[in-house]
Amino acid sequence: EADIYQTPRYLVIGTGKKITLECSQTMGHDKMYWYQQDPGMELHLIHYSYGVNSTEKGDLSSESTVSRIRTEHFPLTLESARPSHTSQYLCASSGASGRSGYEQYFGPGTRLTVT
């Protein structure tokens, strides 16, 4: 089982609040990703990072921001939560040294509800 962690697992928060979703991995992977997934739907890449101090936006327009100050840590921040942000957020990591190159290991996800 891959060592990638996400906290909190579930979060219910009011509109306008600032929130940070945490993601950490202990595999030394240089690449990390954030996806948004509504129940039963496809995964949308919202941010990715190929190393420390490197972050890029994905295909899905997002009002969130990320930072990558340490290899193992890739937090996602929403400055002002809105009901439209209600979804599941999945963090993943991959390293070229993995058994299949860019194989992604996913965390358990954070299910966010904004009321």
Nearest to 103 by CA among 115, 114, 93: 93
Nearer to another protein, 15 or 54 (CB): 54
The answer to whether 96 contacts another protein (rule: CB under 8 A) is no
Q: Say whether residue 51 binds another protein (CB under 8 A).
A: no
> Residue 43, interface with another protein (CB under 8 A)?
yes
Question: By CB under 8 A, is residue 101 in contact with another protein?
Answer: yes
């306008």: which residue's tokens? 16
Query: How many other C-beta atoms are found inside a 10 Å radius of the C-beta of residue 84?
Result: 9
- Does 59 sit near another protein (CB under 8 A)? yes
